[in-house]
Copies of this chain bind each other. A is one copy, B any other.
Amino acid sequence: TFTIGIDSGSTTTKGILLEGNAIVRRFLCPTSFRPADSIREAWEALRDGLEETPFLTLTGYGRQLVDFADKQVTEISCHGLGARLLLPEVRTVIDIGGQDSKVIQLDEQGNLTDFLMNDKCAAGTGRFLDVISRTLGTTVEALDAITDGIAPHPLTSMCTVFAESEVISLRSAGVAPEAILAGVINAMARRSGHFISRLTTQGPLLFTGGVSHCVRFRAMLSEHLKMTVHTHDDAQYAGAIGAALIGQRQRAR
């Protein structure tokens, strides 16, 4: 039997159709101005053509916005579960999304033991990379190609707003945009390293969320933490996978 998990994030809406431990379908779209519309879109796409109506579990910021879900669960519980499916021995999950970041500690059995959450300051989230990339006329998606093999130029401001001004000054002073962007990734990776260390440095570590796609960020995070940073092609779906798994458990009862 199928279950569906949808993770309604502030930036991206992710959805998964699960059968046992197998991912049957994935859905991803930018969260619309009306997040409920994106949830509905995900729901229709994922259940399309199925004979039975799958059990639907919602998670993420927008999880309360529609009334047709069977269950609603917090991100933290879903993320830990989803991460275990992607990397069964995982003990620490770092999730960096568009507008928040969280680090989750799991015991050997995969139970949640502790977590830290940041959704108050843009500096530790994907928004930081997004704002600075735009200031330099590019996008987060292009960062790997642009900064490949480029040494980072040091950046002193950690606040997104002050970093934006600093980046403009560095450009006026003739520093190459590639070196600035490598420096921006490095500054954020260092900050994320500190954030993780505040909770735990127990490996294996799985990196999830939109920012996990940036290869250079991963490499720099690994350098700052002095440990292996695992990721997975489906890392951005960890929350949705966990939600679908919770649906399975509920059905099994």
Residues on B with C-beta less than 8 A from A160 are: 122, 159-161
Contact check, A161 vs B131: say whether CB atoms are below 8 A apart.
yes
Contact A158-B120, Cβ < 8 Å, known A33-B172, A172-B33: yes
Task: Tell me how far the C-beta of A25 lies from the nearest C-beta in chain B, rounded to whole angstroms.
Answer: 31
Contact check, B159 vs A121: say whether CB atoms are below 8 A apart.
yes
A99 within 8 A of B: yes
Contact check, A161 vs B161: say whether CB atoms are below 8 A apart.
yes
Number of this chain's copies in the complex: 2
The listed residue (B99, B162, B169, B172) touching A162 by CB distance below 8 A is B99
Task: Tell me how far the C-beta of A45 lies from the nearest C-beta in chain B, rounded to whole angstroms.
Answer: 26
Given contacts A120-B158, A122-B159, A122-B161, 11 further A-B contacts (CB under 8 A): A33-B169, A33-B172, A120-B159, A120-B162, A121-B121, A122-B162, A127-B161, A159-B160, A160-B160, A160-B161, A161-B161
Name A's B-contacting residues (CB within 8 A).
Answer: 33, 99, 120-122, 127, 131, 158-162, 169, 172
Residues on B with C-beta less than 8 A from A127 are: 161-162
Residues on B with C-beta less than 8 A from A131 are: 161
Residues on B with C-beta less than 8 A from A161 are: 122, 127, 131, 160-161
Residues on B with C-beta less than 8 A from A33 are: 169, 172
By beta carbon, the residue of chain B nearest A160 is: B161
Task: Tell me how far the C-beta of A174 lies from the nearest C-beta in chain B, rounded to whole angstroms.
Answer: 13
By beta carbon, the residue of chain B nearest A130 is: B161
The 4 A-B pairs of least Cβ separation, nearest first, read: A122-B161, A160-B161, A122-B159, A121-B159
